[in-house]
């Protein structure tokens, strides 16, 4: 079929905003209980509610919302053992117990001021061991501990004294407990500690000792082998690699320039597990791409799968299961046959994918950036079965700076990206310096350089594609959320390259971010930007709110009104400043949304508004059916 020529950006596409909103079911928090699988599904049509699902069906019907808010980012909101599930219910903060076919029963008191995450079942003692965040004192910040919650709801603190805790892990015989902890001003991926203690007959902990980690060593995912040997992931070599702690000594299991772990933003992450005492199945990231492998006797053997991103992996003697995706596969839950090859898909985030002819397949690229650095990104060219650009027209480019800022852009199929490419936009998803997946040295490129290195790498990526003749230099766009919002704003303020931008709940005032930040991130800027003695000067230099005189390009802002990470005042101050200077600006607020939008109507509203914004800024005809948008100060 002959394609119809149409201006890039105005192509019609079956990948509508409604399809993006309704078509993706977030899958997360995979859990194994023997041969049975459990996971969380997000329900955009139910205001973003997360529900616990097992192979036998849903365990937490509405209005239950399985979610933890410990450290604000949560994760680790449920666990399952011997067919019984325990979970944190976000609306009331209580813990519940549920079995298939029964209604959930609360086990903690009403109106308590506790939050819970990262559970392990201590069945012989009739309790859960968990990370607890206590908000009852009324102080500026909550108190974090590791606590035991008896099945009757009574609570006992097991470990306290540190600012943060994660990953309590009980040995198979119940006689030892391992955990992670760290203190301000560090984040866990900067440096944290792995501790080990014996569990006394009365359930208290004795003989606690530090076994790994420190101010410059990041530990993640402590796990016990079936035979009771402690394992963990450490970046002491410059890469997050696997180690075994045996008789007081940590032994490297597989030294490799690859990442077998990730930053502890959320609880409950898992990228390795044990098929037996002798065999580990693990996932690792190499060059921004995930691989699955078996590790036995120091030999790493790759297991073929169709996946290029593996977000979670759960392993036991019965089952290997993962959450994975690829450029033409949206995130899905699959059981893997590591012996004979092959996989069985159990759940898909998108049940029905758009036709492949509307999908853009990215290519992984590296390119030179400032000061001799190499940066990494995924480049998505426009793709549409029905349309092509008029002869000689190059596509507009959207450069995306991910959030985190220690996150990582992956190539898994995302309808939110295909929404743009199927309309004639090119997209560059950048893994700027500071991103996870490329080793500690690359991650530390952002140390003291947030708002500089990330911006330089996004600018360099756009220039790289322009120099290759792949995109229109007069129609370069930049967008980002959260930390990526700061990248967006500074790219527009300090570089004369991008023509417009979109900022989703982005940071504009670094001093304000410190003042409003929650406990987990309250000192993060000391690493990202400057120590306290230099903070005022550097904050002012890098905060776009102090450089609005340099912002002359149109911008659109999106902000959840319940955001506790980047509060609405950040966006409002920025919008007011642009409005006062007669810079074209649009501002969309969303009731009931926090740091990240979960409701279907929010996804539709923001995507369509952003599209209309770009079309009007570039003078591209707006297709029928798209909403009106108030863009202040934009000439007719």
Q: What is the pLDDT of residue 448?
A: 95
pLDDT digits (tens, 9 = 90+) for 28-72: 999 999 999 999 999 877 878 999 999 889 999 999 999 999 999
pLDDT digits (tens, 9 = 90+) for 147-195: 999 999 999 999 999 999 999 999 999 999 999 999 999 999 999 999 9
- Across the range 540-557, mean pLDDT stands at 91
Residue 510 has pLDDT above 90, yes or no: no
Reported pTM: 0.91
CA–CA separation, 174 vs 126, rounded Å?
12
For residue 269, the Cα-to-chain-centroid distance in whole angstroms is: 11
Q: pLDDT band at residue 13, thresholds of 50, 70 and 90?
A: very high
- Across the range 510-514, mean pLDDT stands at 78
- 89 with 282: CB under 8 angstroms? no
Identify the residue whose tokens are 């360099």.
Answer: 460
The CA distances from residue 435 to 34, 258, 520, 524, in Å, are: 35, 13, 19, 15
Q: pLDDT band at residue 1, thresholds of 50, 70 and 90?
A: low
CB contact burial 503-515 (16+ within 10 A = b; e otherwise): bbbbbbbbebbbe
Q: What is the pLDDT of residue 150?
A: 97
CA–CA separation, 521 vs 9, rounded Å?
38
DSSP symbol at 548: G
Sheet with 329-336, edge to edge strand ranges: 309-315, 320-326, 329-336, 343-348
> Which structure tokens are listed for 257?
């320039």
For the chain, what is the total number of helices (H) and then of strands (E)?
10, 38
Q: What DSSP string runs through 528-543?
A: HT--HHHHHHHHHHH-
CB contact burial 569-600 (16+ within 10 A = b; e otherwise): ebbeebbebbeeeebbbbbbebeebbbbbbbb
CA–CA separation, 129 vs 203, rounded Å?
10
- 171 with 179: CB under 8 angstroms? no
Q: Which residue has the higher pLDDT, 373 or 138?
A: 373
- Closest of 1, 15, 11, 48 to residue 353, by C-alpha: 15
Does domain 4-17+354-617 fall under CATH 3.40.190.10? My reply is no
Residue 138 has pLDDT above 90, yes or no: no
What stretch of H or E contains 137?
A: none
The secondary structure of 402-454, three-state, reads CCCCCCCCCCCCCHHHHHHHCCCCEEEEEECCCCCCCCHHHHHHHCCCCCCHH
CA–CA separation, 365 vs 490, rounded Å?
23
- 509 with 493: CB under 8 angstroms? no
pLDDT digits (tens, 9 = 90+) for 272-307: 999 999 999 999 999 889 999 999 999 999 999 999
Q: What is the pLDDT of residue 407?
A: 87
The CA distances from residue 167 to 320, 415, 628, in Å, are: 21, 33, 48
- Helical axes 483-494 vs 453-467, angle rounded to 10°: 60
DSSP symbol at 470: -
- 272 with 230: CB under 8 angstroms? no
- 234 with 262: CB under 8 angstroms? no
What stretch of H or E contains 612?
A: helix 600-617
pLDDT digits (tens, 9 = 90+) for 446-487: 999 999 999 999 999 999 999 999 999 999 999 999 888 999
| Average pLDDT of the chain, as a whole number | 94
Residue percentage of the chain with pLDDT more than 90 = 83
CA–CA separation, 337 vs 5, rounded Å?
46
> Which structure tokens are listed for 137?
């004192």
- Across the range 332-358, mean pLDDT stands at 93
- Across the range 527-540, mean pLDDT stands at 92
Residue 311 has pLDDT above 90, yes or no: yes
SS3 (DSSP) at 484: helix
Domain boundaries, the chain: 4-17+354-617, 270-349
pLDDT digits (tens, 9 = 90+) for 359-400: 999 999 999 999 999 999 999 999 999 999 999 999 999 999
- Across the range 227-250, mean pLDDT stands at 97
CA–CA separation, 6 vs 10, rounded Å?
7
Long-range contacts of 207-212 (CB under 8 A, 24+ apart): 208/159, 211/178, 211/245, 211/248, 211/250, 212/243, 212/245, 212/250
SS3 (DSSP) at 48: coil
DSSP symbol at 2: P
- Closest of 416, 376, 420 to residue 397, by C-alpha: 420
Residue 513 has pLDDT above 80, yes or no: no
Q: pLDDT band at residue 548, thresholds of 50, 70 and 90?
A: confident
């Amino acid at each position: 079929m002959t394609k119809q020529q149409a201006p890039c950006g105005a192509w019609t596409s079956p990948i509508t905003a409604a399809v993006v909103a309704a078509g993706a079911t977030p899958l997360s928090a995979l859990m194994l209980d023997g041969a049975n699988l459990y996971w969380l599904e997000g329900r955009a049509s139910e205001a973003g509610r997360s529900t616990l699902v097992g192979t036998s069906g849903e365990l937490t019907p509405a209005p239950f919302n399985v979610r933890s808010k410990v450290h604000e980012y949560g994760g680790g909101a449920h666990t399952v053992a011997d067919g019984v599930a325990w979970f944190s219910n976000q609306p009331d903060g209580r813990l519940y117990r549920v079995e298939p076919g029964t209604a959930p029963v609360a086990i903690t008191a009403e109106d308590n001021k506790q939050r819970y995450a990262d559970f392990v079942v201590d069945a012989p003692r009739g309790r859960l061991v968990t990370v607890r965040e206590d908000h009852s004192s009324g102080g500026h910040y909550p108190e974090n501990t590791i606590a035991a919650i008896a099945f009757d709801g009574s609570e006992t603190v097991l470990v306290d004294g540190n600012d943060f805790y994660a990953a309590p892990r009980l040995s198979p015989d119940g006689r030892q407990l391992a955990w992670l902890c760290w203190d301000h001003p560090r984040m866990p991926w900067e440096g944290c500690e792995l501790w080990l203690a014996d569990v006394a007959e009365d359930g208290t902990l004795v003989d606690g000792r530090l076994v790994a980690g420190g101010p410059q060593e990041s530990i993640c995912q402590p796990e016990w082998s079936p035979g009771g040997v402690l394992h963990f992931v450490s970046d002491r070599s410059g890469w997050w690699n696997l180690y075994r702690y045996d008789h007081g000594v940590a032994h490297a299991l597989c030294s490799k320039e690859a990442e077998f772990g990730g930053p502890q933003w959320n609880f409950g992450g898992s990228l390795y597990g044990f098929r037996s005492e002798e065999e580990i199945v693990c996932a690792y990231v190499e060059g921004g791409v995930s691989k699955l492998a078996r590790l036995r006797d120091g030999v790493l053997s790759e297991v073929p799968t169709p996946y290029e991103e593996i977000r979670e992996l759960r392993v036991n003697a019965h089952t290997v299961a993962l959450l994975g995706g690829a450029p033409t596969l949206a995130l899905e839950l699959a059981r893997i046959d590591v012996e004979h090859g092959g996989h069985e898909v159990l759940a898909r985030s998108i049940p029905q994918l758009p036709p492949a002819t509307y999908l853009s397949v990215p290519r992984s690229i590296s390119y030179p950036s400032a000061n001799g650095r190499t940066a990494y990104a995924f480049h998505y060219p426009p793709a549409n079965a029905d349309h092509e650009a008029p002869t000689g027209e190059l596509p507009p480019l959207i450069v995306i700076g991910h959030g985190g800022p220690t996150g990582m852009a992956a190539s898994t199929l995302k309808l939110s990206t295909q929404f743009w490419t199927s309309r004639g936009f090119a997209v560059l998803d950048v893994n700027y310096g500071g991103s996870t997946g490329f080793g500690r040295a690359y991650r530390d490129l952002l140390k003291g350089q947030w708002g500089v290195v990330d911006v330089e790498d996004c600018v360099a990526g756009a220039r790289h594609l322009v120099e290759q003749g792949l995109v229109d230099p007069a129609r370069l766009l930049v967008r980002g959320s959260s930390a990526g919002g700061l990248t967006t704003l500074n790219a527009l303020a300090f570089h004369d390259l991008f023509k417009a931008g979109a900022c989703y709940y982005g940071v504009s005032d670094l001093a304000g971010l410190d003042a409003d930040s929650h406990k987990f991130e309250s000192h993060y800027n000391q690493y990202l930007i400057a120590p306290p003695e230099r903070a005022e000067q550097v904050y002012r230099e890098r905060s776009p709110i102090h450089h609005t005189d340099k912002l002359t390009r149109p911008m659109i802002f999106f902000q959840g009104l319940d955001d506790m990470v980047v509060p609405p005042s950040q966006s409002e101050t920025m919008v007011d400043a642009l409005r006062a200077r007669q810079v074209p600006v649009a501002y969309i607020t969303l009731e009931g949304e926090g740091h990240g939008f979960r409701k279907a109507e929010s996804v539709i509203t923001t995507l369509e508004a952003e599209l209309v914004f770009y079309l009007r800024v570039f003078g591209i005809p707006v297709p029928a059916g798209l909403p009106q948008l108030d863009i202040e100060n934009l000439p007719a």
